Amino acid sequence: MSATVVREPSTPLLPGGDAPVPARRRPRPRALLATGILAALVLLLPLAFLILEAAQDGWGTLHPLLFRSLTATLLWDTVSLMAVVTVLCAVVGTLAAWFVERTDLPGRRIWAALVVVPVGIPDFVTSFGWKSIFPSLGGFWAAALVMTLAVYPLVYLPVAAALRGADPAQEEVARSLGLGRVKTFWRVTVAQVRHAVLGGCVLVALVMLAEYGAFEILGFRTFTTEIYTEFLTGFNAPAACAMSLVLVVLSVFVLTGEGLSRGRGRQARTGGLAARVPRPHRLGRSKPAVLAGFVALVGLALGVPVGAIVYWMLHGGSSTLPSASILSATWHTVFYAAAAGLVATLAALPVAILSVRHPGRASAMLERSTYLVLAMPGLVIALALTYFCERYAAGFLYQSTTMLVAAYAIMFFPLALVAVRASVAQAPPALEEVGRSLGRSRFEVLWRLTLPLVAPGLTAAFCLVFLEVVTELTATLVLIPTGAQTLATQFWAFQSNISYGQAAPYAGLMILIAVIPSYVLGRWFDRLPSRAQAAS
């Protein structure tokens, strides 16, 4: 790939929300629209299930269950926790990404891998780790702390990808024009990665709505823990579905808020293929403080759960391990996670292109609708697929590998979309137009120009989905082919038998597997500019 694209002076770089984009309403390509709509329809299946189930019981039965004092308490706890964790994640994730990507932080490459890993640690391990160190841990702030440390990578990853793609020259210009370091950070850097931060925040907020395991351990009740109780303890699917619909309404609010704050700014740059190494900011005297911050962050987010695993391995009984089951569980886990990462990323690409390149009310609706699935608990999604598969497809592919991978891809599609979308937003459409005007086919332009430009986003998307799938449990148990095991299901099997010593190696392996994509991701980002520079 030659990297000799020159900057077009005619394309203004607009960091803020000024000057609306001139009407470049190109016709939406039909294939793109069709795939986008199809993706949205598949992702809305669980919602259809919720409405069907909730309707079964009628309003008269659901009313007293929805409108009682516990609901109000849970609603308040859920929303305030979501808000606090989202803000904390935005701060931690953005700062960590900026320090790793833009400064001379020592050991950047290692930090880049380590700060992502927490997303690949099962909630149960994290919360159990905390509970073993601080047995009286519980309540709002404990939940906020544990969750922030578990999900801030959802902000970090897209922001780091966006920083890699953003033009460092803008910061340099701002600095050379006399803007201070902090002001430059706020007015230029943050503006450049605003989409990524917002996207990450939406993910955090929605993931918080559907979180279950960690809150169970911490004894903090939210709407979602209550939904599981209704489903499981009460066998009351209609009630559980009605409560899930409340979560969907909450997530609509989140998405509307994000839509309002997204604005119309453009952040494309033309030099994507000719990127140069941004001159890293010198940390200078603040270096020890920043390093200490990273040590603290990784120590808390990674050290506590790893410590818990080591403790279990040392103290948790001495039964021998069937190594065959570990090997097969590892293989299944990696295979499912990789396949789901691939499918979700590929499916996210058309939706992202549609929403960025062909903006409008329809594409915005379409894009937003695909986020709703993130607020639905895994068990609900799995049962929805079960229901439709058995009722309308005669059980075709039910509990097959294909269906499980599809379920994962549906559940974590929004994660892929946010990462891909941020990268597409940074790739200048002008390049594609030039390509087209030079007589290249649409496909060729996509393959030769758009894909290389959005590659960092695709990689981030793949890794995000991969990491989430590795620890998924509730949907896995419903949809996995009978007899197959993943690391998460094996961990659960031993843990629910109070065999922590036997459960620990599975948790350890999950973390090890999570380290690999995190490291690859960091390395990949790291090599990109130098390679491009060498080519130019």
Contacts (CB under 8 A) with another protein, residues 482-521? 482-484, 489, 493, 496-501
Q: What is the DSSP letter of 438?
A: T
The piece of 268-276, 381-389, 432-440, 527-535 that touches another protein (CB under 8 A) is: 381-389
497 vs 533, beta carbon nearer another protein: 497
- Of 32, 116, 203, 383, the one binding another protein by CB under 8 A: 383
Closest CB 97 distance from another protein, rounded Å: 31
20 vs 395, beta carbon nearer another protein: 395
Specify which residues 103 forms β-bridges with: 281
Interactions with another protein, residue window 24-43 (CB under 8 A): 35, 38-39, 42
**How many C-beta atoms lie closer than 10 Å to residue 81's C-beta?**
21
Closest CB 89 distance from another protein, rounded Å: 24
Interactions with another protein, residue window 253-272 (CB under 8 A): none
401 interacts with another protein by CB under 8 A? yes
Closest CB 353 distance from another protein, rounded Å: 15
Nearest-angstrom CA–CA distance, 291 and 260:
36
138 interacts with another protein by CB under 8 A? yes
240 vs 247, beta carbon nearer another protein: 240
Closest CB 223 distance from another protein, rounded Å: 13
- Of 83, 190, 477, 515, the one binding another protein by CB under 8 A: 477
- Of 231, 413, 491, 506, the one binding another protein by CB under 8 A: 231
Q: What is the 3-state secondary structure (H, E, C) of 358-411?
A: CCCHHHHHHHHHCCHHHHCCHHHHHHHHHHHHHHHCCCCCCCCHHHHHHHHHHH
300 vs 340, beta carbon nearer another protein: 340
Torsion of CA 298, 464, 219, 311, to 10 degrees: -50
Rounded to 10 deg, the angle between the 323-357 and 451-471 helix axes is 140
19 interacts with another protein by CB under 8 A? no
Interactions with another protein, residue window 306-345 (CB under 8 A): 316-317, 335, 339, 342-343
Closest CB 43 distance from another protein, rounded Å: 10
Task: Say if CB 410 and CB 383 are below 8 A apart.
Answer: no
- Of 1, 277, 321, 397, the one binding another protein by CB under 8 A: 397
Closest CB 477 distance from another protein, rounded Å: 4
75 vs 477, beta carbon nearer another protein: 477
From residue 377, alpha-carbon distances to 52, 388, 421, 475 in Å are 17, 17, 24, 9
55 interacts with another protein by CB under 8 A? no
Q: What is the DSSP letter of 420?
A: H
Nearest-angstrom CA–CA distance, 175 and 277:
17
Closest CB 262 distance from another protein, rounded Å: 26
Which amino acid is residue 403, in one-letter code? Answer: M
Task: Say if CB 463 and CB 446 are below 8 A apart.
Answer: no
Interactions with another protein, residue window 67-106 (CB under 8 A): 68-70
Closest CB 467 distance from another protein, rounded Å: 19
- Distinct helix (H) and strand (E) counts, the chain: 25, 0
The number of residues that bind another protein (CB under 8 A) is 71
163 vs 487, beta carbon nearer another protein: 487
Closest CB 107 distance from another protein, rounded Å: 37
Task: Say if CB 217 and CB 127 are below 8 A apart.
Answer: yes
- Exposure string of 484-513, with b = 16+ CB inside 10 Å and e = fewer, is bbbbbbbbbbbbeeeebbbbbbbbbbbbeb
- Of 406, 422, 454, 514, the one binding another protein by CB under 8 A: 406
Q: What is the 3-state secondary structure (H, E, C) of 47-112?
A: HHHHHHHHHHHHHHHHHHHHCCHHHHHHHHHHHHHHHHHHHHHHHHHHHHHHHHHHECCCCHHHHH
- Of 86, 222, 370, 474, the one binding another protein by CB under 8 A: 474
Tokens of 255: 């998405």
Rounded to 10 deg, the angle between the 139-151 and 123-133 helix axes is 130
Tokens of 488: 């998460």
The piece of 164-172, 233-241, 245-253, 523-531 that touches another protein (CB under 8 A) is: 233-241
Interactions with another protein, residue window 183-222 (CB under 8 A): 216-217, 219-221
The piece of 108-116, 227-235, 359-367, 419-427 that touches another protein (CB under 8 A) is: 227-235
The count of residues in the chain is 536
Interactions with another protein, residue window 339-378 (CB under 8 A): 339, 342-343, 346-347
66 interacts with another protein by CB under 8 A? no
- Exposure string of 180-195, with b = 16+ CB inside 10 Å and e = fewer, is eeeebbebbbebbbbb
